[in-house]
């Protein structure tokens, strides 16, 4: 390969990445504004100044594009899991910040949801469950306790924010953390 071929290949790759990023940005905007059902691949491509075939080429389908845009970001800050009070605060904050994305992905039509749900499950395990198990020296037999804790926090945040239940919706984040702290303590302290 000549120097000119290498340079042309690099420019093509950079152009492809720029197009992909424009598609992601346009999709994020249209999904937010119009919702999954009304945002079309053609409209997303037009907004990104790209050919609709490129949307399919880069993402495979509208469902996969939606998953790429709305995938929750489950990342626990390093070195912050030193006690159950800190863990409760982190889990409530994470659930509060990522709830909309989580609900969006789990409500995808069946054709697009299995891959997205699998990715969310894998990320949740790698970036939340496993770090909690490591930080609190919980053996593999205790994995269900950690998953139950995460489920309790996400469920509570869901009731508070999406269903706006009478009592939970009146709580601020600190009050919610204080309410859930004994649940965290109980589940983390159990022996297997």
pLDDT tens-digit profile, the chain (192 residues): 555 554 444 445 556 789 999 999 999 899 888 888 889 999 999 999 999 999 999 998 888 888 888 877 787 766 567 799 999 999 999 999 888 888 877 777 665 557 777 888 888 999 899 999 999 999 999 999 999 999 999 999 999 999 999 999 999 999 999 999 999 999 999 877
Convert 37-71 to b/e letters by CB count within 10 Å (16 or more is b). eebebeebbebbebebebbeebbeebbbbbbbbbb
Among 146, 157, 133, smallest CA distance to 186 is for 146
Convert 141-153 to b/e letters by CB count within 10 Å (16 or more is b). ebbebbbebbebb
Give pLDDT, residue 61.
85
Which residue in the block uniquely carries the two structure tokens 């970036």?
127
Give pLDDT, residue 107.
72
Residue range 3-69 forms a domain whose CATH class is: mainly alpha
Helix/strand/coil for 139: coil
Q: Where in the chain is the domain with CATH 1.10.10.60?
A: 3-69
Neighbours of 111 (CB within 10 A): 10
Cα–Cα distance between 167 and 178 in angstroms, integer? 14
**Residue 105 token pair:** 């992905």
Q: What is the pTM of this model?
A: 0.74
Give pLDDT, residue 19.
93
Cα–Cα distance between 94 and 90 in angstroms, integer? 6
CB 65 within 8 A of CB 28: no
Give pLDDT, residue 152.
96
CA 28 to chain centre: 14
């Amino acid at each position: 390969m000549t120097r000119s071929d290498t340079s042309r290949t690099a420019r093509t790759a950079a152009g492809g990445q720029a197009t992909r990023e424009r598609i992601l940005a346009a999709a994020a905007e249209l999904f937010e504004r119009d919702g999954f059902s009304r945002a079309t691949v053609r409209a997303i491509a037009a907004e990104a100044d790209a050919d609709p075939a490129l949307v399919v080429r880069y993402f495979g389908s509208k469902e996969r594009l939606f998953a790429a845009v709305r995938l929750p970001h489950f990342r626990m800050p390093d070195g912050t899991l030193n006690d159950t009070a800190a863990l409760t605060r982190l889990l409530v904050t994470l659930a509060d910040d990522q709830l909309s994305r989580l609900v969006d992905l789990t409500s995808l039509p069946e054709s697009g949801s299995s891959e997205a749900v699998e990715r969310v499950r894998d990320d949740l395990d790698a970036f939340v469950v496993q770090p909690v198990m490591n930080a609190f020296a919980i053996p593999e037999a205790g994995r269900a306790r950690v998953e139950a804790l995460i489920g309790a926090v996400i469920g509570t945040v869901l009731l508070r924010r999406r269903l706006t239940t009478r009592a939970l919706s009146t709580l601020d984040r600190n009050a919610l953390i204080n309410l859930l702290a004994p649940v965290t303590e109980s589940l983390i302290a159990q022996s297997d």
